[in-house]
Amino acid sequence: MSTELAWFKSSYSGTEGSVCVEVAALSHAVHIRDSKRKDGPRITIGPHAWETFITYAATTAGA
């Protein structure tokens, strides 16, 4: 069983690479990191917290 995470860059990340967020989503956890610091700190949250955050971000975007 592989423990390697599949990271995906946010579609809202800047094109110059200076403000990029990457996410690796699993069924039991969502890992978030700064793409410039792949070996740097990460935050891991539960799927419910991620869904709550995404819903909040979508409703407040551009507000």
3-state secondary structure of 44: strand
The per-residue pLDDT for range 2-22, each reduced to its tens digit, is 568 999 987 766 666 667 889
Residue predicted with more confidence, 62 or 42: 42
The per-residue pLDDT for range 46-62, each reduced to its tens digit, is 999 999 999 998 888 76
Give, as one character, the DSSP assignment of residue 6.
Answer: -
> How many Cα atoms occupy the beta-carbon half-sphere of 44 within 13 Å?
5
Give, as one character, the DSSP assignment of residue 63.
Answer: -
Alpha-carbon torsion angle 45, 55, 20, 7, nearest 10? 50
pTM: 0.76
Every domain of the chain and the residues it spans: 8-60
3-state secondary structure of 34: strand
